[in-house]
């Protein structure tokens, strides 16, 4: 437990936020600091074939201690943190033997982590929680995953009596801005399948995610003195509002759950002469996903007829539902389920309402379900992680390695 705490805290105190406005990989220079530390640490604990490439992708090997050949399994996590909330000067707080009440994160700012709002806290009564100090995010997404993978490898190296095949691990930059798998060399990694340690609540096991696209709508208006604007002014702001008003109001993030898809307007700027807004399109069903994209094109065309062709739309697919790549090798999900049950965890199998590096990796030829890392309330000041959940994630990694080593393939 203390090893997990110390390692995790050492990681989260290093600012590794990624930057979507940057074209470099990694998108921020500061990600290199933790990347270099991780390389040194992997060498120190005794991992083999430790490499880091020009884009800060880290790979390493735990050699097989079996005489027979079994599939090569990988474990992957990302070391960048979200640009949505500051990660400068993270000051983690350790709450021992959580009593189930409010946790004052920051008395000066009256920032309180309360089970009255975050009910999941009550699942961890009596456990050790690591929280923020209310001024930054924590970084459990996904430094908890990195901690768990390194601790599991260290444990296996110290316990050669646990038989396992060749294990590959990988740490990536820029996952939080959707680029974590862009430069990932699947062939070099050389695993038959892998797991991202990037889920939330203990027990989560996910092999479905959204199909995703991003769209940008641009509206060019005409500014005319409002006193003389009859049949002359084209107000780009009003047309943008008209466009958004046609979108189904019940199909937004705040109105949907489970496998329900949505449209989400997440950025807008405008004046009479020019308005732009961006939105994301999400749906677990590929056919419904295509219908959603077509609706945006249809709205654009309809408003162009009404307003004289002043709208344009740019749209790009981001990632797809990995289910179609994982289902043909579903035994890899069953392997993770068996490992969880073997260490006393009830699996929670559900679709991800988001994306994961595993999606892109699955479509690049590396099937890659997602396993819990234990954190909650990612990307903000209320983020926390139970240490016991991280310990269980370590147990799951070790058990998967052991199970693969003992299976007949």
**CA–centroid distance for 278 within its chain:** 21
Which residues are catalytically annotated? Answer: 80, 175
Q: Contact 1/151 with Cβ under 8 angstroms?
A: no
Whole-number Å distance between alpha carbons of 330 and 71: 15
* Pairing of the two strands 348-349 and 204-206: parallel
Q: ∠ at Cα 70 (65, 73), nearest 5°? A: 90
Whole-number Å distance between alpha carbons of 72 and 62: 10
Whole-number Å distance between alpha carbons of 95 and 113: 12
Q: What is the CA radius of gyration of the chain?
A: 23
């Amino acid at each position: 437990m203390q090893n997990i705490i110390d390692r995790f805290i050492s990681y989260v105190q290093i600012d590794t936020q990624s930057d979507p406005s940057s074209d470099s990989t990694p998108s921020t220079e500061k990600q290199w600091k933790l990347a270099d530390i991780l390389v040194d640490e992997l060498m120190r604990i005794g991992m083999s074939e430790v490499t880091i490439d020009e884009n800060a992708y880290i790979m390493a090997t735990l050699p097989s201690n079996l005489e027979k050949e079994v599939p090569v399994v990988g474990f992957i996590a990302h070391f960048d943190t979200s640009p949505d909330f500051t990660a400068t000067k993270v000051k983690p707080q350790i709450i021992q033997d959580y009593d189930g009440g409010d946790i004052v994160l920051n008395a000066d700012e009256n920032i309180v982590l309360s089970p009255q709002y975050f009910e999941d806290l009550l699942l961890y009564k009596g456990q050790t929680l690591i929280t923020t100090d209310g001024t930054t995010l924590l970084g459990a997404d996904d430094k908890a995953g990195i901690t768990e993978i390194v601790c599991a490898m260290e444990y296996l190296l110290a316990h050669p009596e646990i038989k396992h095949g060749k294990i590959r691990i990988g740490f990536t930059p820029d996952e939080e801005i959707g680029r974590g798998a862009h430069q990932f060399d699947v062939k070099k990694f050389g695993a038959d399948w892998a797991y991202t340690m990037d889920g939330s609540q203990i027990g989560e096991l996910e092999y479905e995610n959204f199909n995703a696209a991003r769209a940008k709508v641009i509206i060019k208006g005409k500014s005319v003195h409002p006193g003389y604007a009859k049949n002359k002014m084209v107000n780009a702001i009003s047309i943008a509002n008209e466009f958004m008003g046609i979108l189904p109001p019940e199909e937004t993030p705040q109105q949907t759950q489970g496998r329900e898809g949505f449209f989400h307007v997440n950025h807008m700027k405008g004046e009479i002469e020019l308005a732009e807004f961006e939105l994301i399109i999400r749906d677990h069903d590929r056919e419904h996903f295509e219908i959603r994209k077509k609706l945006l094109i249809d709205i654009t065309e309809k408003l162009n007829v009404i307003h004289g062709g002043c709208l344009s739309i740019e749209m790009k697919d981001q990632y797809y539902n990995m289910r179609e790549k994982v289902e043909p090798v579903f035994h890899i999900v069953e392997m993770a389920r068996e490992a969880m049950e073997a260490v006393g965890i009830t699996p929670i199998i559900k679709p991800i309402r988001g994306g994961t590096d595993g999606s892109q990796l699955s479509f690049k030829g590396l099937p890659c379900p997602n396993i819990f890392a234990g954190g909650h309330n990612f990307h903000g000041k209320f983020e926390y992680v139970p240490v016991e959940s991280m310990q269980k994630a370590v147990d799951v990694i070790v058990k998967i390695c052991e199970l693969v080593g003992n299976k007949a393939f």
